[in-house]
Structure 1
């Protein structure tokens, strides 16, 4: 089934379910609508109280995060000014990275961020980590949490933590700053840890000898011939190759319509 039809089916099912819930007032204490967005919330927020035993550490963590956020914000502002100066002084040729849709880091809209399940899952997890930071520091700073929940627009698009407004208004100074800064602190710390893990895993990568086929275009000759992705080219029309340059040289010597035989290694099989 075409992916567009699947998407339309999901949208239709979501619209029907949302319409029924809205019209009949079902689960009024737990479901609220903001236009087409459905907010599903729960008042069971005792989970956050478990972190109060680590209040001293979490306050230090959040305070460090506030300082880190300020430093990063200043650094980004300086880089922005340098970028503007470079843009007006040098006037670099326009590229796709400056296109309006690429300003927002939204998967699928930004052409450099693919709309895949893995990317969307990372996007949702990032928001969850952010919001849970607010919830945890709310309880550490004695701010009651009224509810926690998820935002749906066909698929989950975010999470939220709802602190008690009266407690929040009574909170002043560094306590309030720590609570608001906890979300982005979590994102920075988790992002840094993920980057560190990625660097460590890169050290375990074993280089592959020979030119690797990273992928094949749909409906082109390579796909129709059954050339597998992530395979290593060993020979082109019987001529052994060792580098991508060798492959390019042999292919450049062919003409449109010529038949090329590839010998590839995939999963240990030639």
Structure 2
């Protein structure tokens, strides 16, 4: 078995062992944790506390926020349509895709060590925590804006994933107008779209960004018996200068290699030292695989904002879709109740159930072997 596979399997086993040990310890101290308002269930912790009744009333009742709420309602329904359309698109594509063809969109759950690497986990958890907290704050702001008291608030942990919630007072919420209820629900949905748009320019989703932040060209592979191989250039080395020219983009490297048949390359080695190496390239090819070199601190920032974009864009679409437990389901229920009266709630439940089944089917299709 290759060394990389062995390390992956060992990491997965270690994660599972630590995960189980953590939850065994938490469950063992269940009674003690209840003294601190922590309710413990298998793989689930809930902390609930009585919340302030009104959240930042000066801001939430301002003209700017009132405009946001009015825009949030149509945007919420547009995101609902977008979520349903995305689910249907995935199903159609997965049913018609050819063997060994890569799908353009797939719905795959976040499973550490399986669908994502363990190194990405801290960024994902932080992005989820920030996104959900802001989402719930905007529910509370809109409750205040529409004179609906907030009863409780809290945080939760499901498996390894953090969450948050606010609970408007049921009597106030049910007594208010349909428009007010739609505003309270939609405010949380739309803020995730806004967070996605804010985080997009700082994420890897924009292809120009890595080249703009690059400090050099990192070598990630060397072709055997190539000029680079014969000059003892190794994976992990970073190209800083070629023939005295500073190189930070792939285009710069390409232009210099096209111009010369012999180059002197200034490399930063893995131990941090710099080394000059002379390479003869009659065909103007070094024989290396490269990527942009971005300093660790910038890489961490970009990785976080990449996951912040992914998490918020996913929440904006799929939380807006009517899937029984989502805000989109509540939005649809309130709208159909306004149109069909008491029957609207039943109609909404049937619609949500159908969409949920299609969503589960889409996930199943996305994770089946295609070969």
1:21 paired with 2:30, answer yes
Unaligned runs of 5+ in 1: 217-224, 236-241, 247-261
Distance 1:139 1:35, change over 3 A: farther
Residues 124-139 of structure 1 aligned to structure 2 (within 5 Å): 124-139=129-144
Secondary structure at 1:160's aligned position in 2?
strand
What is the CA–CA distance in structure 1 between the aligned matches of 2:273 and 2:82, rounded to whole Å? 48
Q: Partner residue of 2:185?
A: 180
- Equivalent residues of 1:106, 1:113 under 8 A apart: no
- Equivalent residues of 1:11, 1:154 under 8 A apart: no
Q: Partner residue of 2:245?
A: none
Give the deviation of 1:107 after TM superposition: 4.9
Q: Partner residue of 1:50?
A: 56
Distance 1:228 1:147, change over 3 A: farther
What is the CA–CA distance in structure 2 between the aligned matches of 1:107 and 1:83, rounded to whole Å? 20
Give the deviation of 1:50 after TM superposition: 1.6
Give the deviation of 1:40 after TM superposition: 0.9
Instruction: Summarize deviations over 1:119-152 as a string: whole Å, max 9, x none.
Output: 2211222221222221121121111112211112
1:92 paired with 2:101, answer no
Give the deviation of 1:187 after TM superposition: 0.3
What is the CA–CA distance in structure 1 between the aligned matches of 2:175 and 2:41, rounded to whole Å? 28
Distance 1:113 1:57, change over 3 A: farther
- Equivalent residues of 2:30, 2:39 under 8 A apart: no
What is the CA–CA distance in structure 1 between the aligned matches of 2:123 and 2:189, rounded to whole Å? 21
Unaligned runs of 5+ in 2: 1-9, 223-231, 243-252, 258-264, 276-371
- Runs of 4 or more consecutive aligned structure 1 residues displaced over 6 Å after TM superposition: none
Distance 1:35 1:11, change over 3 A: closer
Q: Greater shift after overlay, 140-149 or 33-42? A: 33-42
* TM-score of the pair, normalised by structure 1: 0.65
- Equivalent residues of 1:149, 1:160 under 8 A apart: yes
Secondary structure at 1:61's aligned position in 2?
helix
Q: Partner residue of 1:32?
A: 39
Give the deviation of 1:181 after TM superposition: 1.0
Q: Partner residue of 2:284?
A: none
| Higher relative contact order (CA closer than 8 Å, sequence separation 6+) | 2
* TM-score of the pair, normalised by structure 2: 0.50
Distance 1:163 1:54, change over 3 A: closer
What is the CA–CA distance in structure 1 between the aligned matches of 2:102 and 2:72, rounded to whole Å? 34
Q: Partner residue of 1:232?
A: 239
Secondary structure at 1:142's aligned position in 2?
coil
Residue 147 (structure 2) aligned to one of 142, 149, 156: 142
